[in-house]
Chains A and B, each alone.
Chain A
């Protein structure tokens, strides 16, 4: 069974640009959540989607948005990039059954560098 796949793995953008990151969950998983990892702030929850609906949202500005498609694939978008958005963005998925155990399955992340 394929794991959580995130694309692209690495990308470089300049301030003011926007970026879209993609996440394909494990087959059968309907919940997808996103986390931002930085040296200064650690791991912070961005948002979580289930069946194309945002169920949970972290404390990030409106420049950070996401969506989920009918096949459970998810994208997150960051507009008007700032230097502080440089981070590793991690996606995690879970199924109804793994939700009952609380376990999330993580992808390898997308490393965003903003210049």
Chain B
């Protein structure tokens, strides 16, 4: 199985801050990576597929980058509705595996 490791596990930030979350795969996955946002009590919502392709309706302040084993999700200017937990997922092969999550908290 491909293991996904996210860092940090949590980050405290203020509205307007730039936030970067990192995801590392245990083996190369090219650009087979997705990012999700999950708010308390809600199902995850896919933000980005194929490393940098924003899903419909996702604000452009979200962006993704990377390839191979190292990836990042960047929120360019944090908004109040962005406080949530974010997960990466490798989409290359079965079993699909998720990172452990990064909680973005209000500073």
Determine if chain A interacts with chain B: no
